């Protein structure tokens, strides 16, 4: 960038071209999100300020973020948040970045729990707390227990719970899966977005994910269903009769996860739900 006048529009154009050359899948969106973050405004507000100059301090901060994005650091980590289910969710490298595919898990849980007077829900491996927060927001009478083995992840989740005024309705528990007295249930619904990437798939993930998101929250093991298998076993004593188990999986591990569910006679399988791309995404079963 030169010492000429750099307006909002010029910065967006230049940055979009530069990020395109760096392999970004969404260069214009990345540029807008980063510049809006620097200016403390919405993305839409950038277009009403298109001809406004950006001062040197703002440009310097923007340049730093753009450089890091060019090195494939996720935008959500750079700005510290990601929208999920129309909610602002704080994130850090200690947690996975919430994805649109996971919103389907929330929708299904809401549909199942809405008829209940006071549903009891467990969110296993809560990470940022995105799922737990979305469920508590849309099910005002629900009580949610959110577990994670990572203390750093629970710190992020704790901030999101407080940010959305849900301290009294979401209990955060440090434990492996459901291995704590506070997570004993019984629960009407257990939801989880566990690690489900196979070890041989890690190298093929986008650099943004592979190099920056927590490996422990991504990779399950050689088969991709190691954590799901342990979760199903743990859920047997934690689910109420008639309660539902909803687990997000990857398309490559869907068949293995479905077979795993069928091996447990106490579960009644339901059809696997597809995501917005039509790929198998949510394995579900009911305690019968």
Token pair in block for residue 153 = 């992840």
* CA-to-CA dists, residue 177 to 160, 173, 180, 208, 277, angstroms: 20, 10, 8, 27, 29
Q: Are residues 213 and 252 in the same domain?
A: yes
Tens-digit pLDDT profile for the chain (288 aa)?
445 799 999 999 999 999 999 999 999 999 999 999 999 999 999 999 999 999 999 999 999 999 999 999 999 999 999 999 999 999 999 999 999 999 999 999 999 999 999 999 999 999 999 999 999 999 999 999 999 999 999 999 999 999 999 999 999 999 999 999 999 989 999 999 999 999 999 999 999 999 999 999 999 999 999 999 999 999 999 999 999 999 999 999 999 999 999 999 999 999 999 999 999 999 999 999
Q: Are residues 119 and 243 in the same domain?
A: yes
Q: What is the pLDDT of residue 32?
A: 97
Domain total in the chain = 2
Buried b (16+ CB within 10 A) or exposed e, 182-191: ebebebbbbb
- Determine how β-strand 170-174 pairs with β-strand 219-221: unpaired
Q: What is the pLDDT of residue 4?
A: 78
Q: Are residues 35 and 155 in the same domain?
A: no
Distance between CA 58 and CA 141 in Å, rounded? 44
CATH code for the domain of 185: 3.40.50.150
Q: What is the pLDDT of residue 183?
A: 94
Residue 83 resides in a domain: no
Q: Are residues 193 and 150 in the same domain?
A: yes
Are 34 and 46 spatial neighbours (Cβ–Cβ below 8 Å)? Answer: no
Tell me phi and psi for residue 46, to 5 degrees: -60, -35
Q: Are residues 153 and 252 in the same domain?
A: yes
Q: Which of 142, 116, 253, 135 shows the shortest CA–CA distance to 191?
A: 135
Residue 277 is classified by DSSP as T
Residue 235 resides in a domain: yes
Q: Are residues 14 and 52 in the same domain?
A: yes
Q: Are residues 274 and 197 in the same domain?
A: yes
Q: Are residues 204 and 248 in the same domain?
A: yes
Full residue range of the structural domain in which residue 280 is found:
94-287
Token pair in block for residue 273 = 């739900």
Q: What is the pLDDT of residue 1?
A: 43
Q: Which of 19, 3, 9, 11 shows the shortest CA–CA distance to 62?
A: 11
């Amino acid at each position: 960038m030169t010492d000429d006048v750099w307006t909002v529009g010029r910065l967006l154009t230049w940055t979009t071209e530069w990020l395109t050359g760096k392999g970004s899948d969404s260069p214009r969106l990345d540029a807008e999100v980063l510049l809006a973050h620097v200016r403390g405004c919405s993305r839409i507000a950038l277009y009403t300020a298109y001809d406004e100059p950006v001062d040197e301090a703002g440009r310097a901060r923007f340049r730093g973020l753009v450089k890091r994005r060019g090195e494939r650091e996720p935008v959500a980590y750079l700005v510290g948040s990601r929208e999920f289910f129309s909610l602002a969710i704080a994130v850090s490298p200690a947690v996975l970045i919430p994805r649109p595919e996971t919103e389907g898990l929330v929708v299904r849980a809401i549909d199942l729990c809405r008829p209940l007077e006071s549903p009891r829900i467990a969110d296993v491996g809560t990470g940022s707390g995105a799922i737990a927060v979305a469920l508590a927001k849309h099910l005002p009478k629900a009580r949610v227990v959110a577990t994670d083995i990572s203390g750093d992840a629970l710190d992020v989740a704790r901030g999101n719970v407080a940010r959305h005024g849900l301290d009294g309705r979401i209990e955060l528990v440090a434990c492996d899966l459901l291995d704590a007295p506070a997570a004993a249930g019984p629960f009407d619904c257990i939801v989880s977005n566990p690690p489900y990437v196979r070890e041989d798939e890690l190298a093929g993930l986008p650099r943004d994910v592979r190099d920056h998101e927590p490996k422990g929250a991504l990779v399950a093991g050689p088969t991709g269903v190691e954590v799901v298998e342990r979760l199903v076993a743990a859920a047997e004593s934690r689910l109420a009769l008639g309660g539902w188990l909803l687990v997000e999986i990857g398309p490559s591990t869907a068949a293995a996860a479905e077979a795993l569910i069928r091996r447990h006679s106490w579960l009644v399988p339901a059809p696997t739900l597809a995501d917005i791309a039509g790929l198998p995404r949510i394995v579900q079963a009911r305690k019968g």
